C-alpha cells in the first residue's frame, strides 16, 4: 500500500482538512506568535524562521528533508485544495466553507493517477501578456534577472526553458501547489532550493512585507520552468477556493481566458521575447 501525504499549509487558526492523506502544517512556526496546534515546520532540518521570504515553501522544505516514509507528496493550503473529484475547466472554483467541510474528501488514487502523468499542478491562470511582463508589473525585475543569472551559472541546461517560460508564455500555475511521486519531489526540491538559496544570498530582501515574499513568488514561476525542461506530463486540477463570497462563474472565466489569450497573441510581436 502506497503512502501519500498532502501538506495543508496554514499560518492562522482556521478549519483544515486533517484526515489522511492531509496533514496540516503551521508554516513559520519558529517565528509565530501563537501555536495553532498543527504540526510545525521547525523540527529537524528546516527553514521555518525564513517563512516571511519563503511562504509555503518552509513546509515544502520541511517535508523534503524530514518526511521520508512517503511515496507521494503534495502541497495544498488551508483555503485552497486540489479538486480531485470535479471536472471544472476553471483555474479557481469558489466553494462555501460549510459545503466544503460538510462532506468527505477521499484520498486521490495516486497509483492510478501517476500512470498517466508525472505531476499534478494547479490549472493555469491565463494572462494577456507574457510572464516576464507580469512579474515586472507586480514585483521587482532585478530579482527575476538575478534568478536567471543563477540558473545560467548553476543549471545552464534550464536556461532555455526559463526564457521560454517567461518571454513566450502567458500561463501560470499559482500557489506552489503540487502533488508528485517522492523521487520527482526530491529531484525538484534539490533543484529549486539550490537556486533560491543562491538568489537569496545575492539580493536585498525588501522591507515591504508583500515584496518580501520574493522566494514564494519566484518559486511559483520556477515550478513551470522545471516542468517544461523535464517535459513532465502534467495533470492540471482546478483549485477549490474556500470562500463564502461569490466569485466569477464558468462563463466569466471562459470569457477572460479567451480575451487574455487573444490579447497575448495580438500583442506578441511587440512583446519582449528574450532577455
Tell whether 275 is covered by a domain: no
Q: Residue 265: helix, strand or coil by DSSP?
A: helix
Is 215 domain-assigned?
yes
1 pLDDT band, cuts 50/70/90, is low
Q: Is 70 in contact with 4 (CB distance < 8 Å)?
A: yes
* Tens digits of residue pLDDT in 70-116: 999 999 999 999 999 988 999 999 999 999 999 999 899 999 999 99
What's the burial of 233, exposed, middle or buried (CB within 10 Å: 0-12/13-18/19+)? exposed
> For the chain, how many structural domains are there in total?
1
In DSSP notation, 220-260 reads HHHHHHHHHHTT--EEEEPEEEE-SS----HHHHHHHHHHH
Instruction: Confirm whether pTM is higher than 0.75.
Output: yes
- The C-alpha torsion from 223 through 226 and 228 to 233, rounded to 10°, is -80
Residue span of the structural domain in which 32 resides:
4-270
Task: Tell me if 176 is assigned to some domain.
Answer: yes
- Does residue 169 form part of some domain? yes
Report the chain's terminal Cα–Cα distance, integer Å: 48
Helices 141-154 and 214-229, packing angle to 10 deg: 40
Tell me the per-residue pLDDT of 179-209, one tens digit each, with 9 for 90 and over: 999 999 999 999 999 999 999 999 999 999 9
pLDDT tens figures, 145-157: 999 999 999 999 9
Residue 125 domain flag: yes
User: Looking at the domain assignment, is residue 163 inside a domain?
Assistant: yes
Enter the C-alpha cell of residue 28.
Answer: 513559520
Return the SS3 of 76: strand
- Measure the CA–CA gap between 158 and 165, rounded to whole angstroms: 11
Q: Residue 4, SS3?
A: strand
Residue at grid coordinates 495544498: 76
Confidence class of residue 248 from pLDDT cuts 50, 70 and 90? Answer: low
**Contact status, residue 14 vs residue 77, Cβ threshold 8 Å:** no
Amino acid at each position: 500500500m502506497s503512502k501519500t501525504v498532502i501538506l495543508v499549509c496554514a499560518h492562522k487558526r482556521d478549519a483544515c482538512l486533517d484526515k489522511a492523506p492531509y496533514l496540516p502544517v503551521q508554516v513559520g512556526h519558529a517565528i509565530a506568535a501563537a501555536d495553532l496546534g498543527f504540526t510545525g515546520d521547525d523540527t529537524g532540518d528546516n527553514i521555518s524562521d525564513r517563512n516571511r521570504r519563503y511562504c509555503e515553501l518552509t513546509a515544502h522544505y520541511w517535508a523534503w528533508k524530514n518526511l521520508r516514509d512517503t511515496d507521494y507528496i503534495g502541497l495544498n493550503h488551508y483555503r485552497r485544495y486540489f479538486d480531485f473529484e470535479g471536472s471544472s475547466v476553471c483555474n479557481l472554483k469558489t466553494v462555501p466553507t460549510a459545503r466544503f467541510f460538510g462532506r468527505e474528501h477521499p484520498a486521490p488514487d495516486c497509483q492510478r493517477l501517476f500512470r498517466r502523468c508525472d505531476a499534478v499542478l494547479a490549472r493555469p491562470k491565463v494572462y494577456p501578456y507574457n510572464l516576464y511582463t507580469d512579474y515586472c508589473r507586480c514585483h521587482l525585475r532585478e530579482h527575476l534577472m538575478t534568478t536567471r543569472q543563477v540558473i545560467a551559472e548553476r543549471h545552464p541546461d534550464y536556461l532555455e526553458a526559463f526564457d521560454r517560460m517567461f518571454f513566450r508564455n502567458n500561463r501560470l500555475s499559482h500557489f506552489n501547489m503540487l502533488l508528485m511521486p517522492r523521487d520527482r519531489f526530491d529531484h525538484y526540491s534539490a533543484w529549486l532550493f539550490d537556486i533560491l538559496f543562491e538568489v537569496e544570498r545575492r539580493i536585498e530582501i525588501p522591507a515591504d512585507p508583500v515584496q518580501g515574499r520574493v522566494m514564494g513568488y519566484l518559486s511559483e514561476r520556477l515550478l513551470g520552468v522545471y516542468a517544461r525542461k523535464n517535459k513532465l506530463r502534467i495533470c492540471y486540477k482546478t483549485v477549490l477556493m474556500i470562500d463564502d463570497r461569490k466569485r466569477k462563474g464558468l462563463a466569466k472565466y471562459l470569457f477572460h481566458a479567451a480575451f487574455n489569450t487573444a490579447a497575448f497573441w495580438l500583442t506578441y510581436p511587440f512583446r519582449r521575447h528574450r532577455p
